[in-house]
């Protein structure tokens, strides 16, 4: 644990500063590995939610390209076609960058709106990629987990904020 502790000047270690957001995003993707077996999608995409939580909380933390490896890892962990989450997450991050470039007032509700649009884009994009790669599959089964994901975002953002406080703590 020494490596993630603060140094003598009280600065958090660079590893903790950089690795914690990445590690929690990967853990979010790994929620999919819980040993329940289902015939319909039941869980929201936690990896995406955690990534959006960090991105909206700390805009300066990640450049847009960080979504590429994170999305690829999510693809490999969840077994979707490699490249699908990679593409969608990066487009979502670029979109958030474009929103950030506009000088406008930002608050909690606006962040939730941005996250909602990103979640909708990634969910329906995943469905479209799945349809393209494997063919078939109805659209409606993904609607309940998508709605759940939208309502899961505020608690996940809270979790990211709590982790961020520990991340930056002396």
Partner 1 sequence: MAPPRHRDRGFSRRIQYGLFFGYVAAGMGVVAGLALVLIARFDPVAFEGIRGLALDATTPFSAATRPIVRGGSSVAGDIGDYFNAASENRTLRAQLAVARRELIQARVLAFENARLKRTLKLVGDQTQPIAAARIVGSNLSGTRRFATLAAGGADGVAPGQPVRAADGLVGRIAEVGMHASRIVLLTDGGSAVPLRVVRTGEAALGEGRGEGAMEIHSTVVGGPGFRRGDLLVTSGVGGVYPADMPVAVVTGTSGEIATARPLAEPAKLDFALVLPQAPVPPPVAPPAGRKR
User: What does the binding site for partner 1 look like in residue numbers (CB under 8 A)?
Assistant: 30-46, 59-60, 63-65, 67-68, 71-72, 76-84, 86-87, 90-91, 93-94, 97, 100-107, 126-127, 129-138, 140-142, 145
- How many angstroms separate the CA atoms of 63 and 22, rounded? 13
| Closer residue to partner 1 (CB): 7 or 113 | 113
Q: Least separation, in Å, of the C-beta of 23 and partner 1? A: 15
Tokens of 22: 């990445």
Q: Least separation, in Å, of the C-beta of 91 and partner 1? A: 6
* Cβ-contact 53, 153 below 8 angstroms: yes
Give, in degrees to the nearest 5, the angle at Cα 83 between 151 and 27. Answer: 45
* Cβ-contact 123, 82 below 8 angstroms: no
Q: Least separation, in Å, of the C-beta of 14 and partner 1? A: 18
- How many angstroms separate the CA atoms of 94 and 64, rounded? 6
| Closer residue to partner 1 (CB): 9 or 138 | 138
Q: Least separation, in Å, of the C-beta of 53 and partner 1? A: 16
């Amino acid at each position: 644990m020494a490596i993630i502790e603060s140094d003598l000047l009280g600065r958090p270690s660079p590893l903790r500063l950089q690795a914690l957001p990445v590690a929690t995003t990967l853990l979010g993707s790994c929620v999919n590995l819980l040993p329940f077996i289902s015939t319909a999608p039941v869980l929201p995409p936690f990896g995406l939610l955690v990534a959006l939580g960090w991105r909206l909380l700390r805009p300066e933390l990640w450049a847009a390209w960080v979504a590429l490896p994170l999305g690829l890892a999510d693809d490999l962990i969840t077994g979707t076609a490699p490249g699908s989450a990679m593409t969608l997450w990066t487009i979502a991050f670029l979109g958030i960058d474009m929103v950030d470039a506009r000088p406008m007032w930002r608050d909690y509700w606006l962040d939730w709106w941005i996250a909602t649009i990103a979640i909708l884009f990634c969910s329906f994009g995943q469905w479209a990629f799945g349809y393209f790669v494997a063919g078939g599959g109805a659209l409606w089964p993904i609607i309940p987990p998508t709605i759940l994901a939208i309502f899961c975002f505020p608690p996940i953002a809270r979790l990211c904020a709590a982790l961020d406080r520990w991340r930056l703590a002396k």
